[in-house]
Amino acid sequence: QVQLVQSGAEMRRPGASVKVSCRTSGYIFITYNIAWLRQAPGQGLEWMGLISPYKGKTTFPQRLQGRITLTTDTSTSTVYMELRSLKSDDTAFYYCARNLAGGPLDSWGQGTLVTVSS
Amino acid sequence: SYVLTQPPSVSVASGKTARITCGGNNIGSKSVHWYQQKTGQVPLLLISYDRDRPSGIPERFSGSNSENTATLTISRVEAGDEADYFCQVWDTSSALVFGTGTRLTVL
């Protein structure tokens, strides 16, 4: 069955960087995009970016341009999300989710809590 | 950027029908997807492409989309349906947009 397994919780100081992984299985890796979302405590869902493992093409919201990088490792069917220059309001659960272009997010990782605190 | 507006909360008695709306400019021209998120859990795809139910989703959940409003309808509401519900679309610049979310309370 389709599975997306994310790396464990992280704690960082303001100004640092964090890299979260999302290891996929149960389907052909390059045939689906991977989206990254986050959810601050008690808040809604926020889209952070999208990567196509087939071509490596990425799309990001304007507000995160320059602070986020998405990469893939096709040998392990893993996607990585790196967020730099962390601030306290980056504290959130971060999710990866599988997506066909224009379609829904049909499978989700379990979430990774990133805490940014001095 | 494209904005999706949902009511912050909807309350319904057990066994009745709940309707959760998702408003957006000409949203009827887009495909709307709905997610359910119970407390402490990962969001779950509930409805795709306006009205399609993924395998395992009960028939009590249905969707519609027309003009400026998409609607998620939950028939015969159960206590276990208490959750946050989010609508989602892709806008014309290939950005993923979520609604503000609606908390469903079952009375």
Residue A117 per-residue DSSP state: -
Instruction: Say yes or no: B98 contacts chain A, CB-CB below 8 A.
Output: yes
Position A65 scores a pLDDT of 86
Residue A30 per-residue DSSP state: G
Residues of A in Cβ contact (< 8 Å) with B98: 37, 44-47
Position A18 scores a pLDDT of 98
Q: Do B43 and A105 touch (CB under 8 A)?
A: yes
CB A89 within 8 A of CB A28: no
Position B103 scores a pLDDT of 98
Instruction: Say yes or no: A64 contacts chain B, CB-CB below 8 A.
Output: no
CA separation for the pair A2, A25 (Å, rounded) = 6
pLDDT in tens, B23-77: 999 999 999 999 999 999 999 999 999 999 999 999 999 999 999 999 999 999 9
Q: Mutation test of the interface with chain A: which of B89, B96, B98, B103, choosing the one with the most A Cβ atoms within 10 A?
A: B96
A–B CB contacts, 8 A cutoff, strictly below: 51
* Residue entry with tokens 């504290």: A91
Position B62 scores a pLDDT of 98
CA separation for the pair B78, B84 (Å, rounded) = 14
CA separation for the pair A89, A40 (Å, rounded) = 8
Position B1 scores a pLDDT of 85
Position A96 confidence tier, pLDDT thresholds 50, 70, 90: very high
Q: Which residues, listed in sequence order, are joined to residue A113 by a DSSP beta bridge?
A: A93
